[in-house]
Amino acid sequence: ERMIVRTAEIALVVNDVAIALDRVTDLAENLGGYVVSSKRWKEEERLAGIITIRVPAEDFGDAMEALRKLAVDVTHEDTSSKDVTEEYVDLSAKLKNLEATEEQY
């Protein structure tokens, strides 16, 4: 089974940045994810913010849909995927070798 990491960047125009950031936090937690980082600042008397979240892969589509619904306008959206199957298999093999070595001592 392939292991795919999906990543998205989405820029939203919202009515209230503080409320939107709170809703994104709630969204991540409700999907079993978490907030990686969050930042807010003033830009010409308007509040702006950036938030980075992680959610389980199976909830990626639901998360994107929910984020779009928070917006008055979506000004940018970029998604990508990376196959990490080989990296995972390689690390799993290394872990098994280390565990086998540890059992010898």
pLDDT band at residue 93 using 50, 70 and 90 as cut-offs = confident
What are the structural domains of the chain? 7-78 (3.30.70)
Tell me the C-alpha distance between 74 and 69, whole Å.
Answer: 9
**Interval 62-83 mean pLDDT:** 96
User: Does 3 score more than 90 pLDDT?
Assistant: no
Read off the pLDDT band of 20 (50, 70, 90). very high
> Cβ(35)–Cβ(25) under 8 Å?
yes
What is the rounded distance in angstroms from the CA atom of residue 60 to the CA atom of residue 38? Answer: 19
**pLDDT greater than 90 at residue 38:** yes
CB atoms within 10 A of CB 87: 12
Give the number of other CB atoms < 10 A from CB of residue 64: 16
Of the candidate ranges 9-18, 60-69, 82-91, the one whose mean pLDDT is the lowest: 82-91
Count how many residues are written for the chain: 105
